[in-house]
């Protein structure tokens, strides 16, 4: 195993399962660490999560530092920041990576300011500069209208990484690594208390995993229109997404907002209905394999993003489209 640890990945586990973004981070970390000639460490925080360590090793970690404590069952800003600070001090990495997830968005900046470390959030590309050996962290800015590459002279250098931007390594059960327990465990008393959790029901396929996503925008005009989209995804075995404009109007739950500040999806097929294709929305779906647009405005930006499109009122175009799709799939 490599003598020093170059990259530390912060793992996320939910319901005993390692989050896809963690495996993506490990894939990216492996590449960066190989360029630096060091190892990959992974921080595993939670309660009753020890089993995940092997999986992290199979996907590229050389060392897993486990902090398993009843007090870490739920993510809380105070407790996780304290534990991650201790893990960083124990592993002393050049680079710390987190997912740009609900947890990473909160934990990343706090940890960075605690450590005095430079952080680039929501990165879509990571590389090592050949000369300086510094991390080159590239991220979309201005809602996705431009991209910027950042470096920092601090140690560690930090980045949070957008989901689905990196490629995980296939699991290799023969990979070896060591599992350590974080010790000493820092004080994890929290000022915050989590007093309730309210779940929004999701029917059918989960948006982030759906092979087909049909999203509606402001032009849908009301909740009734979204029922049409629901019928279409039932045929396509997909999920319905929405723009922020549609969610803010209460036509569709905010938990299905696609975009920069919503969910990131990368389905085989993304059908954009009556939405203009703002850069902030495209940030959440530009990884789709095929993009189809239905919009009545031929000048709408979505036609600059889509591969196939129809210019027309969705109220007329969509029912005929849905009918034909059903016929084709039944054949």
Partner 1 sequence: CAKQVPDPEAPPGSLKVDCGDHLVVLPRSFSPVISPFDEQAVEAALRIKDAQGGSITVITLGNNLQRDVVKKPLSMGADELILLEDSAFEGGDTWSTVTALAAAIKKVGDYDLIFCGRQAADWDAGQVGLGLAEILGLPVVSVAQKVEVMDGRVRVERVVPDGYEVIESPTPALITVSNELGEPRYATLKGIMAAAKKQPTVWKPADLGLDPSQVGEAGRNTKLLRLFQPTKEARCEIVEGETPEEAGTLLADRLRSAKVL
β-pair partners for 160:
98
Q: Which of 43, 40, 45 is nearest to 26 (CA)?
A: 40
Residue selected from 38, 93, 118, 287 as contacting partner 1 according to rule CB under 8 A: 118
Q: Token match 């000022």: residue?
A: 191
By beta-carbon proximity to partner 1, the closer residue of 61 and 150 is 150
* Distance from C-alpha of 244 to C-alpha of 233, rounded to nearest angstrom: 20
Other Cβ atoms within 10 Å of 15 Cβ, number: 4
**Contact predicate 224/279, CB 8 Å:** no
Residues contributing to the site for ligand FAD (CB under 6 A) = 143, 217-219, 243-246, 257-262, 274-276, 278, 280-281, 284, 294-297, 300, 313-315
320 binds partner 1 (CB under 8 A): yes
Which of the listed partners (partner 1, ligand FAD, none) does 154 bind, with a CB threshold of 5 to 8 Å by partner kind? partner 1
* Distance from C-alpha of 179 to C-alpha of 253, rounded to nearest angstrom: 41
Which of the listed partners (ligand FAD, partner 1, none) does 275 bind, with a CB threshold of 5 to 8 Å by partner kind? ligand FAD
Spatial strand order of the sheet with 178-181 comes to 119-123, 157-161, 95-99, 5-10, 39-46, 63-68, 178-181
Mark 28-67 with x for binding to partner 1 (rule: CB under 8 A) and - for no binding: ----------------------------------------
329 binds partner 1 (CB under 8 A): yes
The number of residues making up the chain comes to 331
* Distance from C-alpha of 330 to C-alpha of 41, rounded to nearest angstrom: 49
Judged on CB neighbours under 10 Å (0-12, 13-18, 19+), 175 is middle
Q: Look at strands 135-141 and 125-128 and give their pairing.
A: antiparallel
Which of the listed partners (ligand FAD, partner 1, none) does 255 bind, with a CB threshold of 5 to 8 Å by partner kind? partner 1
Site for partner 1 in 140-199 (CB under 8 A): 140-154, 191-199
Which of the listed partners (ligand FAD, partner 1, none) does 217 bind, with a CB threshold of 5 to 8 Å by partner kind? ligand FAD
Which of the listed partners (partner 1, ligand FAD, none) does 319 bind, with a CB threshold of 5 to 8 Å by partner kind? partner 1
Which range binds partner 1 by CB under 8 A, 89-97, 167-175, 180-188, 295-303? Answer: 295-303
């Amino acid at each position: 195993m490599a003598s020093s640890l170059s990259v530390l990945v912060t793992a996320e586990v939910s319901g005993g399962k390692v989050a896809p973004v963690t495996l993506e981070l490990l894939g990216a970390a492996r590449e960066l660490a190989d360029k630096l000639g060091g190892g990959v460490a992974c921080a595993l925080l939670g309660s009753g999560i020890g089993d995940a360590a092997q999986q992290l090793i199979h996907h590229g970690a050389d060392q897993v530092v486990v902090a398993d404590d009843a007090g870490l069952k739920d993510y809380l800003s105070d407790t996780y920041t304290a534990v991650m600070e201790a893990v960083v001090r124990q592993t002393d990495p050049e680079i710390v990576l987190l997912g740009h997830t609900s947890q990473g968005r909160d934990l990343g900046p706090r940890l960075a300011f605690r450590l005095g470390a430079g952080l680039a959030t929501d990165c879509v590309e990571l590389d090592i500069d050949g000369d300086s050996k510094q991390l080159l962290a590239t991220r979309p800015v201005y809602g996705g209208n431009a991209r910027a590459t950042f470096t920092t002279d601090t140690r560690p250098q930090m980045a949070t990484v957008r989901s689905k931007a990196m490629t995980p390594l296939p699991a290799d059960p023969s990979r070896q690594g060591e599992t350590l327990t974080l010790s000493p465990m820092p004080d994890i008393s929290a000022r915050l208390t989590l007093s309730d959790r309210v779940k929004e029901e999701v029917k059918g396929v989960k948006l982030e995993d759906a092979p087909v996503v049909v999203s509606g925008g402001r032009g849908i005009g009301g909740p009734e229109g979204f029922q049409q989209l629901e019928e279409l995804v039932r045929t396509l075995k997909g999920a319905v997404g929405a723009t922020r404009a549609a969610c803010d109007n209460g036509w569709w739950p905010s938990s299905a907002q696609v975009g920069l500040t919503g969910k990131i999806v990368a389905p085989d097929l993304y059908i954009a209905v009556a939405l203009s294709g703002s850069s902030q929305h495209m940030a959440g779906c530009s990884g789709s394999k095929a993009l189809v647009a239905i919009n009545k405005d031929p000048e709408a930006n979505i036609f600059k993003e889509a591969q196939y499109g129809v210019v027309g009122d969705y109220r007329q175009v969509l029912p005929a489209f849905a009918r034909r799709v059903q016929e084709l799939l039944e054949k």
